[in-house]
Chains A and B, each alone.
Chain A
Amino acid sequence: MFTSPATSAPAACWACATVLGRSPLLCTACGKVQPVADSDYFQVFGLERKLGLDLAALEREFHRLSRKLHPDRFARATAQEQAWSLAATALLNDAYRTLRDPIQRTEYLLKLSGLKIGEENAGKSKAADRHPPADLLEEVFELNMQLEEMRMNQKMGEDDLSLQAGLTAARGKFEALLAEVDGDLAAKSAQWDAGDPATREKATNAMAALLDRRRYLRNLVRDVNEVLSTATT
């Protein structure tokens, strides 16, 4: 579901009535903080919805807006402006945190496009993350056996070096797969950024599948790391 179409009427500053510029959180004319509208994270930074981002520029803009919006700047302002500053800064921080990370940025953009991604809601079962991708079924099955055996061994206080070596090798393999997914994601992101609506839809679906695969692999690597780290201590 689309939250806010980018074509809504331009908003004006509550204090000086100037039409708001790039960032909807701040009036460039009088410098006053604005009540938080239904802005998405890209709008907060005055950015187009794109997956390719200049991170250094994003950080500079984050710092520039922080200087203007942060509650520390409003310690002597009215209660209303303090409340707006708090809401605007929270939105700014949430937006920066999401956009600076390529994976979170992609998930967010897909969510804006109406897809439900990952563990969005509290209490939602994590079963989807436990569903192995079809092409990896066999390997995952074998890995889980090894993990189980390793955990049993650890409980008994035994060390099985060949098992440990096997797991380390499997970890290397899955990490490589993870890197492959990241490469594919980057390629699809570029397609999305450059494409027409039809290309975008295709890229969106491909990225959603890649994100699921990535989440699955990441959990797998995490499990192996957990087991291996208890083995070495």
Chain B
Amino acid sequence: MPEERIIGIDLGTTNSLVAYMESDQPVVIPGVDGSNLVPSIVVLDPVAPDAPVSARSVTVGNSARRALIETPDRAIYSVKRLMGRGLEDVQEELKLFPFRLADDIQPGEVLRIRLGEMQFTPSEISAYILRQLKRNAERYFGAEVKKAVITVPAYFNDAQRQATRDAGRMAGLDVLRLVNEPTAAALAYGLDRAKEGIIAVYDLGGGTFDISILKLNDGIFEVIATNGDTHLGGDDIDNLLLAVALDEIRNEHGIDLRQQPDAIQALRKAVIEAKIALSSEPAAKLDIELPGGDRYRREIPREVYEQLIQPVIDRTAGPTRQALADAGITPDKIEEVVLVGGSTRIPAVRALVDRLFQLSARGKKPHTELNPDEVVALGAAVQASILAGSSTTTEELLLLDVTPLSLGIEALGGVVARIIQRNSTIPASATEHFTTGVDGQTNVAIHVLQGERELAADCRSLARFDLKGIPPMQAGLPRIEVKFLIDANGILKVSAREQRSGTESQIEVKPTYGLTDEQVETMILDSFDNAETDFEARQLIEARLEADNILDKVQKAESSPAWKLLTSDEIAQIAAAVAHLTATKSGSDLALIRAAVTRLDHATRNLAEKMMEAAVSGAMRGKTMQTASDDLDRTAGPEIHAPHPFAKAEFDDSTKIEPDPEPEEDQK
């Protein structure tokens, strides 16, 4: 197709995906490794300390997983939790996630995260993920991609949306639209059926929860109400399980792992696997080697697990009831419920949804036909197609979304005067008139807030700005008209006019936690990347780098213990794939090199898994008893005390189960 393609991107807390409308069906575009999910993990690759900035490189996705354990100080995951936030917003996250922030961040400043010797804003980290997705799409199409639709949690505020859009720009993408995740999911579901009626989308992902109530009518998807919690998701369940395990390890083995990032990451990986297993099994076992050789062994029955996580899951009930109340409907009027996000695989979550919407009582079941990890990306692709006007399937579709939070301005006495109510269809606008309080006054300060509370101090500060250049007049005489407009992305724009003199006031709207255009400009990734301007040439270079990279890894792996576990057949296949790639990579046939890389990647998959297992237990073993007891003496970080201990595991050593190869299923 000659015209420009628009891709749909789900930039998730745990995983990210890119999708595209292939004729009349949305499809997810896989990465080099064949996986549809790109884990939202970014690693700054190690470089020599004196290397120039241009030598800097990052790894994103599945290949970055290992670094979480091997070089945790250079890796980051769940960065979405920091998007558009200030220092005082993230104190809770800092207790639970291994985010390493720069020491000199001032209140009101955009956060900076330390990776190795460098610092990055959350938008830059997200930009690396977006760039990876962009490249995956370019590789798939064999052509450059410049335009995208990106999804955000419906409950994201203005600053979080701006930060996401900035990330897109840094990645070299023109972000045509930010779409709310639950609405995107509704689009993906509504595509192939002419549904009418009221539906609910319950979206519990890795780090965010959204609930949206929509009215479907002849291709129009009209959101009536939305609510949510941008600090609630599968991550919280992981943290809870992790906290229980850490407490138990300290109490029973006298080892405090809280100050050991690598050991914590290995333990986190184990509890996530247990969590996933518990969605289908009656019990899961944890069996982890501790520094010093002891083992931490636990059996977690489903019952205990569900008791433990119920308080986390129950936090979704309040926003759900509020959304129903705002929509002015009772649960029995909801005709269909769509489940989105990896955490909706948890049976206890499904039970709660069933109760909240009285589903089984009405002989209904929630919709789970589309993969809950992929449905948001598929919907983003549908929206991209609507914008492109490129498909007859989507021609008649239109999404009418709402703003999740009320917009207000600070009035006398620190109270908030609401000017746009939550759940107003966007674009939405409000016009307010201001005047001066002192003779000759030429500036009026305006403080814009987002939130539902009465006092400005309890709401989210969006921006402060001055109406400048008011002609000097008697107090109360100037009449300044300020227009607030929330656009289709849910982002605020402000313009002002002095009506008596007819002068257009100069206003500068500075987001409270945002980057200026100039700052974003300096963070455009390609400016660091000394990228080739020629797209073809860049692709060829990248493919060769990728080839060198994997050849190098395979060569190193030959001396690893995991190599000895391979069958002779596997070794022969690897050798053949290596020879093939070595022969093709110096040529200039892009497709051929890529095919050869993929072949070698497939041949070494088992090897990679075995090495991964070894790395995990190695990280645990790497600690000496001395460092472990040092850590124990320190008052170790924020403490979370386990509400319920897990049941003691009854392991029979004679039938010790080998851990399964890591399933790539992970909640988003």
Contacts and interface: CB of A to CB of B under 8 A. Distances in A.
B427 A89 contact: yes
B487 to A, nearest CB: 6
Interface residues of B, number: 34
A7 B54 CA distance: 66
A124 B427 CA distance: 26
A91 B220 contact: no
Contacts of B409: 122
B412 A67 contact: no
Nearest to B426: A93
B389 A66 contact: no
A123 B417 contact: yes
A124 B415 CA distance: 11
B425 A96 contact: yes
A91 B426 CA distance: 10
Contacts of A93: 424-428
A89 B424 CA distance: 12
Contact of B487 (A86, A91, A122): A86
A71 B430 CA distance: 18
Contacts of A87: 429, 485
Interface string B365-406: 000000000000000000100111100000000111000000
B381 to A, nearest CB: 14
A66 B427 contact: no
Given A63-B218, A121-B432, A90 B398 contact: no
Most buried by B among A75, A89, A124: A75
A86 B222 CA distance: 17
A76 interface: yes
Contacts of B177: 72, 75
B411 interface: yes
B557 interface: no
A173 B44 CA distance: 67
A76 B6 CA distance: 12
Residue among A86, A90, A119, A124 with the most chain B CB within 10 A?
Answer: A90
B217 interface: yes
Contacts of B424: 93, 97
A122 B386 CA distance: 38
B425 A97 contact: yes
A66 B485 contact: no
B183 to A, nearest CB: 12
B488 A86 contact: yes
B489 to A, nearest CB: 9
Given A63-B217, A123-B412, A90 B386 contact: no
B176 A94 contact: no
A214 interface: no
Contacts of A71: 427, 487-488
Given A72-B387, A75-B388, A97-B425, A63 B220 contact: yes
Contacts of B429: 87, 90-91, 94
A54 B433 CA distance: 33
A89 to B, nearest CB: 5
Contacts of B218: 63
Interface residues of A, number: 23
B428 A90 contact: yes
A171 interface: no
A70 interface: yes
B464 to A, nearest CB: 15
A179 to B, nearest CB: 17
B432 A94 contact: no
B175 to A, nearest CB: 12
Q: Which of B389, B411, B486 has the most CB of A within 10 A?
A: B411
Interface string A71-103: 111011000000000110111011011000000
B217 A122 contact: no
Given A75-B176, A86-B427, A90-B427, A122 B388 contact: no
A71 to B, nearest CB: 5
A154 B389 CA distance: 59
Interface string A48-77: 000000000000000100110011110110
Contacts of B400: 66, 70
Interface in B162-192: 176-177
Interface string B570-589: 00000000000000000000
B62 to A, nearest CB: 33
A119 B564 CA distance: 77
A94 B486 CA distance: 11
B419 interface: yes
A72 B485 contact: no
Contacts of B408: 122
B487 A123 contact: no
Interface in A110-130: 119, 121-124
Contacts of B398: 66-67, 70, 72
Contacts of A123: 411-412, 417
B428 A122 contact: no
Nearest to B390: A76
Contact of A122 (B176, B399, B432, B485): B432
A90 B417 contact: no
Contacts of B487: 71, 86
Interface string A37-56: 00000000000000000000
Given A71-B487, A90-B428, A93-B428, A76 B389 contact: yes
Contact of B386 (A63, A72, A94): A72
B426 to A, nearest CB: 7
B160 to A, nearest CB: 21
Interface string A8-40: 000000000000000000000000000000000
A66 B387 CA distance: 14
Of B386, B408, B427, B486, chain A has the most CB atoms within 10 Å of the CB of B427
A73 B398 CA distance: 9
A105 B327 CA distance: 19
A93 B401 CA distance: 11
Contacts of B217: 63
Contact of A72 (B412, B434, B486, B488): B488
A122 B411 contact: yes
Nearest to B419: A122
Contacts of B428: 90, 93-94, 97
A230 to B, nearest CB: 15
Nearest to A74: B387
A200 B177 CA distance: 46
Nearest to B421: A97
A86 B411 contact: no
Nearest to B397: A72
A201 to B, nearest CB: 26
B387 A75 contact: yes
A41 to B, nearest CB: 12
Interface in B200-230: 217-218, 220, 222
8 contacts: A66-B400, A72-B386, A86-B488, A87-B429, A89-B427, A93-B424, A93-B427, A122-B411
Interface of B: 176-177, 217-218, 220, 222, 383, 386-389, 398-400, 408-409, 411-412, 417, 419, 424-430, 432-434, 485-488
Q: Which 6 A-B pairs have the closest CB atoms?
A: A122-B417, A123-B411, A75-B387, A90-B427, A90-B429, A93-B425
Interface of A: 63, 66-67, 70-73, 75-76, 86-87, 89-91, 93-94, 96-97, 119, 121-124
Given A93-B424, A97-B428, 12 more contacts: A63-B217, A63-B218, A63-B222, A66-B220, A71-B488, A72-B399, A86-B488, A93-B426, A93-B428, A94-B428, A97-B425, A122-B408
